[in-house]
Chain A
């Protein structure tokens, strides 16, 4: 079972060791987002969509760097495996970090940049962010998280590229197989692989989401339990 005291100690270790790198990344993102805000407000529509792109790119690239970062080198992997806490505790701390703390922290730079640029340069004439817009970005992040989380444990290095490369490859193969099967069964009928969207969000049944999240988180845990230094 999970020992709360040890888990808190693990959190403390994670942030004591990671905060300087994380702060540096946040500062960089803030600068990057300030420039983008200015360009967007000046030249493009004042929609929040660009923040979605920035946030997701930042969190997924930054996130893959921060998820299970100890697994990337053999020496740090051994050090991490030997810390006297259970596998479940170490996994849970990583999971909570990636699910709750990381996305909220990473949402700060684009939101701050947006607000700062709006007030300082455009005298607040650009509409302020709404909670629905922010919520939408978080949901997008949470949909991507199980994939990258699994990729971080499975691939350990170059996680972003390997994970998305695998997803694209598997997607193409699955699409090809499905299309082939469709034509075999229905002959001349059109194959429609599109996911239907409502208000910009894909409509997926709840059971499919549960399977998706459960599958990748479960697989991540199994892989993490089996991690070796060899």
Chain B
């Protein structure tokens, strides 16, 4: 298991319990999308997995290590890309020269290739980059570390539309069977076609399912009138897009936005269905 948690909890203080009794098992080879409303603790969970925050209770193992010990063997096997990027005032080349040696599997050619695909001008000083370019630079570095687990908090924030597509492609192409990725986002559509596992987080807990499991229980279809077993519906021109119980006649892939809204607005029935 790349990530294993048992009854994980986190509170900033007695009155502010953010996460409670989270149980996660994420094997290698998965690309998981962490979806949740604002303030449900997505970033907090990612920071705990990366070891920059300590859990208040529960057990946690990430790439066979306890993250809070912050051992080098752990840190070189994960890469955490926070929402708020930080790049020191230096050039891209010197950044790589300084930090790549800490990662034994760092692939310089891959780094250059990813930068080229994301259209980042490499020789510039990092402080001269725009927000989006900084994100792209860090995505390239993260992928090139070949770390076992990539934890990315809102990686598509600030990326232009072509870059979002490149990002999706890059993840699919470069994630090996021994690796895993956890991506959080507010924009579920950014992850469509990339993730194979969904982690749905709200104030009451976390639900982790593969898309295959969800496809076996749920269906997405377009209807003139919403069926009775609709978990969540969205109106478009003269029709309804609905997420319902599984139907053999519906072959459409799960729509992540509909899925999340079904979980968010109709939690009890949603959980019964899955």
Query: Which 10 A-B residue pairs are closest in the complex by CB-CB distance?
Result: A75-B86, A84-B75, A84-B76, A229-B52, A84-B102, A79-B86, A75-B84, A84-B72, A13-B98, A17-B88
What is the CA–CA distance of A229 and B71 in the complex, to the nearest angstrom? 17
* B88 and A6 contacting across the interface, CB-CB below 8 Å: no
The residue that B72 contacts in the complex, of A6, A76, A77, with Cβ under 8 A, is A6
Interface presence of B90 (CB below 8 A): yes
Interface presence of B54 (CB below 8 A): yes
Interface presence of B85 (CB below 8 A): yes
What is the CA–CA distance of A13 and B191 in the complex, to the nearest angstrom? 35
* A78 and B90 contacting across the interface, CB-CB below 8 Å: no
The number of A-B residue pairs with CB atoms under 8 Å apart is 70
Interface presence of A16 (CB below 8 A): yes
- Find chain A residues with CB under 8 A from B70 CB: 81, 86-87
- Find chain A residues with CB under 8 A from B47 CB: 78, 229-230
* A16 and B52 contacting across the interface, CB-CB below 8 Å: no
What is the CA–CA distance of A3 and B76 in the complex, to the nearest angstrom? 14
What is the CA–CA distance of A82 and B142 in the complex, to the nearest angstrom? 12
Minimal beta-carbon separation of A229 from chain B (angstroms): 4
Interface presence of B223 (CB below 8 A): no
Minimal beta-carbon separation of A4 from chain B (angstroms): 13
- Quick one: closest A residue to B75, CB to CB? A84
Interface presence of A9 (CB below 8 A): yes
Minimal beta-carbon separation of B147 from chain A (angstroms): 9
* A78 and B99 contacting across the interface, CB-CB below 8 Å: no
* A16 and B90 contacting across the interface, CB-CB below 8 Å: yes
The residue that B102 contacts in the complex, of A17, A76, A85, A87, with Cβ under 8 A, is A85
A210-230 CB contacts (< 8 Å) to partner B: 226, 228-230
Contact surface of B with A, Cβ cutoff 8 Å? 12, 44, 47, 50-54, 70-72, 75-76, 79-80, 82, 84-86, 88-90, 94, 98-99, 101-103
* A78 and B80 contacting across the interface, CB-CB below 8 Å: yes
The residue that A17 contacts in the complex, of B53, B82, B90, with Cβ under 8 A, is B90
What is the CA–CA distance of A9 and B12 in the complex, to the nearest angstrom? 34
What is the CA–CA distance of A87 and B74 in the complex, to the nearest angstrom? 12
Interface presence of A74 (CB below 8 A): yes
- Find chain B residues with CB under 8 A from A166 CB: none
* A83 and B86 contacting across the interface, CB-CB below 8 Å: no
- Find chain A residues with CB under 8 A from B51 CB: 81
* B50 and A82 contacting across the interface, CB-CB below 8 Å: yes
Contact surface of A with B, Cβ cutoff 8 Å? 3, 6, 9, 12-13, 16-17, 20, 73-79, 81-87, 89, 226, 228-230
What is the CA–CA distance of A55 and B246 in the complex, to the nearest angstrom? 76
Minimal beta-carbon separation of A121 from chain B (angstroms): 38
- Quick one: closest B residue to A83, CB to CB? B102
* B72 and A82 contacting across the interface, CB-CB below 8 Å: no
What is the CA–CA distance of A87 and B76 in the complex, to the nearest angstrom? 14
- Find chain B residues with CB under 8 A from A81 CB: 51-52, 70
* A74 and B102 contacting across the interface, CB-CB below 8 Å: no
Known contacts A75-B85, A78-B82; is-contact A228 B52 (Cβ 8 Å): yes
- Find chain A residues with CB under 8 A from B50 CB: 78, 82
Minimal beta-carbon separation of A200 from chain B (angstroms): 42
- Find chain B residues with CB under 8 A from A84 CB: 72, 75-76, 102-103
Minimal beta-carbon separation of B124 from chain A (angstroms): 17
- Find chain A residues with CB under 8 A from B84 CB: 74-75, 78
- Find chain A residues with CB under 8 A from B94 CB: 16
- Quick one: closest B residue to A230, CB to CB? B53
What is the CA–CA distance of A166 and B150 in the complex, to the nearest angstrom? 42
Please indicate which of the listed interface residues B47, B52, B80 has the most CB atoms of chain A within 10 Å of its own CB. B52
* A73 and B72 contacting across the interface, CB-CB below 8 Å: no
- Quick one: closest A residue to B85, CB to CB? A75
- Find chain B residues with CB under 8 A from A89 CB: 72
What is the CA–CA distance of A83 and B76 in the complex, to the nearest angstrom? 8
Sampled A-B contacts (24; CB under 8 Å): A3-B72, A9-B98, A12-B98, A17-B89, A17-B98, A73-B86, A74-B84, A75-B82, A76-B88, A78-B80, A81-B70, A82-B50, A82-B52, A82-B75, A82-B79, A82-B80, A83-B75, A84-B72, A84-B76, A86-B72, A228-B53, A229-B52, A230-B47, A230-B53
